[in-house]
């Protein structure tokens, strides 16, 4: 079973205006969408659609927390969240004629007792793999993530910012940086695929058993103990890249739960992402061809190690 932990989930509020924003003007629209957001939550949704046994966890509180729980229930996603006194955050994205504006709340204050309860929740679920995804709310530190890593007999995956990856101290199963996160985690310039390979290998040497690097239009890399694998992105119509990196991690973890090889796990990650970018937001697209492997993705060996 996969347990996804989203320490700082949100209700994602997206509104669209067919005009540029102006100071002092009241803009009105009927185009508004509310969704349950957060990396771990996205991974849970996509992995569940890939027939993985998955439960979503993290911290939730207040009316927005209830919205997230209710939305996951409606989507048939199992959940086991820690209830906190503070309110889950609301993040707003404004899409206007003159550009995109993101307004993100830092998140609720987390107490030490909340972290203790999260650790106990993870232990009670006894997952095979535990994923920590996204930013940390005020009051939660990287030492708490390391504590989760050491709290049970599970493999732990992380999908966090590069500045976080640089500071984690436990042994981790897999991390999933993108190009900018590879650069932030290693201090390297990451422009070419060769740059990405070098940076990913450095992270592997620091204690990540697998480094799954998502490179957008350039596909993805997987660094293992034995080799470096690459898979190209598919030539598909891109509607929205939100959730693409989460989809790569979802495909990888679901494949490993199904007992597939490293190459097939990378293949499933890339294929899942290619389907996710074809829909707006983090809605779950039809992933049937991912499960049946009807669409071929060529995985190449970049180098042996």
DSSP assignment of 249-281: HHHHHHHHHTT--HHHHHHHHHHHHHHHTTSST
Q: What's the N-to-C CA distance of the chain in angstroms?
A: 30
pTM (two decimals): 0.91
Q: Which of 176, 178, 184, 118 minimizes the C-alpha distance to 151?
A: 118
In a 3-state reduction of DSSP, which class is residue 176?
coil
Where helices occur in the chain by DSSP H, the ranges are: 39-49, 62-74, 112-125, 142-150, 162-165, 179-186, 193-205, 244-257, 262-276, 288-292
Question: According to the model, what pLDDT value does residue 266 have?
Answer: 97
**Are the C-beta atoms of 211 and 224 separated by less than 8 Å?**
no
Give the CATH number of the domain where residue 277 resides.
3.40.1190.20
**Are the C-beta atoms of 182 and 199 separated by less than 8 Å?**
yes
Q: Which of 246, 262, 264, 286 is catalytic?
A: 246
Alpha-carbon gap, residue 47 to 3, rounded angstroms: 11
Q: What is the CB neighbour count within 10 angstroms for residue 164?
A: 21
State how many domains the chain has.
Answer: 1
| φ, ψ dihedrals at 89, nearest 5° | -80, 160
Alpha-carbon gap, residue 146 to 124, rounded angstroms: 18
Segment among 73-82, 188-197, 198-207, 236-245 with least mean pLDDT = 236-245
- Which residue segment(s) compose the domain that 282 sits in? 2-304
| φ, ψ dihedrals at 282, nearest 5° | -110, 30
Q: Which of 240, 293, 247, 285 minimizes the C-alpha distance to 47?
A: 247
Mean pLDDT computed over every residue of the chain? 93
Alpha-carbon gap, residue 265 to 207, rounded angstroms: 20
Give strand pairing partners of 231: 220
Per the model's pLDDT, the better-predicted residue between 250 and 283 turns out to be 250
Question: According to the model, what pLDDT value does residue 68 have?
Answer: 97
The DSSP code for 115 is: H
Q: Is the pLDDT of residue 276 over 80?
A: yes
Question: According to the model, what pLDDT value does residue 281 have?
Answer: 65
Per the model's pLDDT, the better-predicted residue between 94 and 263 turns out to be 263
Q: Is the pLDDT of residue 24 over 80?
A: yes
Alpha-carbon gap, residue 284 to 49, rounded angstroms: 8
Question: What are the b/e assignments for 241-267, b being 16+ CB within 10 Å?
Answer: ebbbbbbbbbbbbbbbbeebebbbbbb
Per-residue pLDDT averaged across 221-225, rounded? 97
Alpha-carbon gap, residue 195 to 200, rounded angstroms: 9
Token pair 């993985």 in the structure block, residue? 52
List CB contacts of 194: < 8 A, sequence separation 6 or more.
none
Has 235 been annotated as catalytic?
A: no
Alpha-carbon gap, residue 202 to 247, rounded angstroms: 24
Per-residue pLDDT averaged across 72-86, rounded? 97
Question: According to the model, what pLDDT value does residue 278 have?
Answer: 79
- Indicate the burial class of 202 (C-beta count within 10 angstroms; 0-12, 13-18, 19 or more): middle
Dihedral sign (CA 248, 93, 161, 144): negative
């Amino acid at each position: 079973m996969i347990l996804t932990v989203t320490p700082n989930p949100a209700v994602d509020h997206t509104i669209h205006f067919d005009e540029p924003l102006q100071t002092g003007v009241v803009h009105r629209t009927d185009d508004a969408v509310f969704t349950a957001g957060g990396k771990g939550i996205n991974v849970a949704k996509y992995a569940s659609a890939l027939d993985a046994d998955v439960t979503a966890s993290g911290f939730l509180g207040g009316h927005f927390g209830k919205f997230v729980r209710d939305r996951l229930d409606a989507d048939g996603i199992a959940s086991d969240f820690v209830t906190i006194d503070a309110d889950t955050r609301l993040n707003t994205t404004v899409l206007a004629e003159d550009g995109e504006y993101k307004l993100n709340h830092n998140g609720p204050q987390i107490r030490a007792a909340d972290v203790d309860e999260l650790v106990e929740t993870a232990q009670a679920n006894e997952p095979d793999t535990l994923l920590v995804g996204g930013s940390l709310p005020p009051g939660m530190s990287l030492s708490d993530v390391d504590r989760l890593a050491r709290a049970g007999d599970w493999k732990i995956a992380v999908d966090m910012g590069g500045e976080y990856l640089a500071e984690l101290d436990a042994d981790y199963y897999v991390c999933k940086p993108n190009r900018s996160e590879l650069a932030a985690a290693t201090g390297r310039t990451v422009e070419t695929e060769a740059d990405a390979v070098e940076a990913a290998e450095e992270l592997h040497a620091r204690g990540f058993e697998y480094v799954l690097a998502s490179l957008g239009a350039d596909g993805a890399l997987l660094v293992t103990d034995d080799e470096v694998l690459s898979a190209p992105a598919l030539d598909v119509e891109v509607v929205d890249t939100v959730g693409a990196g989460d989809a790569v991690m979802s495909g990888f973890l679901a494949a490993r739960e199904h007992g597939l090889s490293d190459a097939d796990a990378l293949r499933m990650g890339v294929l899942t992402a290619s389907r996710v970018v074809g829909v707006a937001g983090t809605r779950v697209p039809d992933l049937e061809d991912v499960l049946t492997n009807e669409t071929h993705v060529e995985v190449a060996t970049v180098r042996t190690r």
